[in-house]
Amino acid sequence: MDIAIDTSKSRYHVDKNGYYGRFGGAYIPEMLYPNVEELQEQYMKVLSDPGFQEEFTDLLKNYVGRPSPLYYAKRLSAKYGAKIYLKREDLNHTGAHKVNNTIGQILLAKRLGKSRIIAETGAGQHGVATATVCALMGMECVVYMGEIDIERQAPNVARMKMLGATVVPATSGSKTLKDATNEAIRDWINNPVDTHYILGTAAGPHPYPDMVARFQSVISEEIKKQLLEQEGRENPDYLVACIGGGSNAAGTYFHYLDVPEVKIIAVEAGGKGINSGFSAASTKLGKIGIIHASKTLLMQTDDGQIVEPHSISAGLDYPGIGPMHAHLYETGRGTFLDATDDEALAAGYELSLLEGIIPAMESAHALAKLKDLDLKPEDVVVLCLSGRGDKDLNTYITNMKK
C-alpha cells in the first residue's frame, strides 16, 4: 500500500477534519465517540507502520491472489472502438474487491487489541468477506443482515455460517441494508471496548471513507504499474467504476484523483429508470443530508425520510453515496452516469459472450455505460470489474427466459 502519497494538498482527498468539500464528517451519537475517536487517532499510525504494511501486502499477495490482472479485452475493445482494459477484481479470493478492505480492517482491529468483529451486509458479499477474514484470524464474527436479504441471499448466509459467523437478522424498517447498518451501529455502542466494526464501503463516519479508500487504493496502485507495462503510460483516458457506497470506485480512482487528464466515470444504479420511483441513483436523486453518520447526498423525501432504493444488484441498492463521491459529483471532477437494470443485464450477457467473463451485476452497470462514452480508437479505458457473476446466476437465468 502506497501510504507515502501526500494527500494533504489535494482537493479530492479527505481533509484533516474528515471532510471532502462539504461532505463527510462524523455525525455520531455521543455514545459512539470513544470508538470513533480511537479509530480517528489510530488509523493512520497503524496504516503507516511497516509491520502492518508487510502483513497486509503479504496477505493480499498470498491469500487474496493479488495483483489482480489488468486484462486487455480485445473483443470488447473492438465492439466499442477503444482500448478497454478490465481490472480483474473478480479474480480475488471470495470473488470481489471487498476482501481488500476486510483484510486491512481485521489487521487494524488486531493491532487495536479487539477480539470481536461486527459487520453489516446487504447481499451478503461484505458479510462473506468479513466472515472469511475472521476465520483466517480466529476472531468472533457477528454479521447483521436485513431479514428480507437473508431470504433473498440464502447461499451467502450459508457461506457466512460455514465460515463460523453468527448472522443476526435486522427486523426493523425495510429489513434491508440500511436497517442492518443501524443494528451494527447499535451493537458497537454497546460493545465499545472489545469490538471493531468492519464497515463494508467508503461511507459512514470519518475515518471510514478514507480508511476504506486507502485499503482499496491497491487497485489504482496496481493499475498504474500494469498500464505502464502494457501501454507505456500510467494514465488511462478513462477510469470507469460502478458505485454503491463507493469502495471499488474509490480504490480505482484513488491515485488518479489529482490527475485531471484522467477522466473519472462513476456509474450508479438507475434501477427501472431515474424517474420511475425504483432507482438507486443517489447523486441525481439525492439531496444533502446525514446517513450513517456522514453528511452526503442521499435519496430522501421533502421531510427528510430516507427513500427506499431499488436496483437489480443488491450491492448498489443503497440510498446514499460515500462522501468522496458526493464531492467528486459536486465539483465535476467525476462524471456520474446511471445504468438501468435492463442495461446492466444486457451488458452482463454481452461480456459473457465477448470475453468469457460473467460479471457481477454491479460491475455490469459500469460495463453498460461504455456505449455512452464518446470513445476514440486511441483512448485507453480502464474499467473496474468489481466482482464475478456466480452470485447473480439466478438473476441472469430468470431474465434470460423472459
**Rule CB under 6 A: which of 292-351 touch ligand PLP?**
315-316
Q: Is 243 in the site for ligand PLP (CB under 6 A)?
A: yes
The rounded distance, in Å, linking the Cα atoms of 391 and 303 is 37
Q: Which stretch binds ligand PLP (CB under 6 A): 2-10, 229-237, 245-253, 368-376?
A: 245-253
| Cβ atoms < 10 Å from Cβ of 350 | 19
Q: Which stretch binds ligand PLP (CB under 6 A): 13-21, 70-78, 239-247, 348-356?
A: 239-247
Q: Binding residue for ligand PLP (CB under 6 A) from 40, 94, 247, 283?
A: 247
Q: Which residues are catalytic?
A: 98, 120, 386
Q: Read off the amino acid at residue 117.
A: I
CB burial of residue 17 (10 Å; 0-12, 13-18, 19+): exposed
The rounded distance, in Å, linking the Cα atoms of 5 and 218 is 12
Per the rule left: phi > 0, alpha: psi between -120 and 50, beta: everything else, 3 is alpha
Total residues found in the chain within this entry: 402
DSSP letter, residue 50: H
The contact mask relative to ligand PLP for 248-277 (x = CB under 6 A, - = no) is xx----------------------------
Q: Binding residue for ligand PLP (CB under 6 A) from 362, 369, 379, 380?
A: 362
**What distance lies between CA 286 and its chain's CA centroid?**
19
Q: Which stretch binds ligand PLP (CB under 6 A): 159-167, 221-229, 246-254, 290-298?
A: 246-254
Q: Binding residue for ligand PLP (CB under 6 A) from 102, 156, 195, 201?
A: 201
**Rule CB under 6 A: which of 98-157 touch ligand PLP?**
98, 125
> How far apart are CB 389 and ligand PLP at their closest, in Å?
9
The sheet that has 294-298: what strands, in order across it? 19-20, 23-24, 294-298, 287-291
Measured at the CA of 195, the angle between CA 66 and CA 211, to 5 degrees, comes to 40
Q: Read off the amino acid at residue 247.
A: S
> How far apart are CB 372 and ligand PLP at their closest, in Å?
19
Residue (236 or 387) nearer to ligand PLP, CB: 387
Q: Is 245 in the site for ligand PLP (CB under 6 A)?
A: yes
Q: Binding residue for ligand PLP (CB under 6 A) from 39, 47, 96, 213?
A: 96
Partners of 271 in the β-ladder: 340
> How far apart are CB 93 and ligand PLP at their closest, in Å?
13
Alpha carbon separation from 24 to 66, 109, 322, 382 (Å, rounded): 30, 23, 8, 27
- Contact residues toward ligand PLP (CB under 6 A) are 96, 98, 125, 201, 242-249, 315-316, 360, 362-363, 386-387
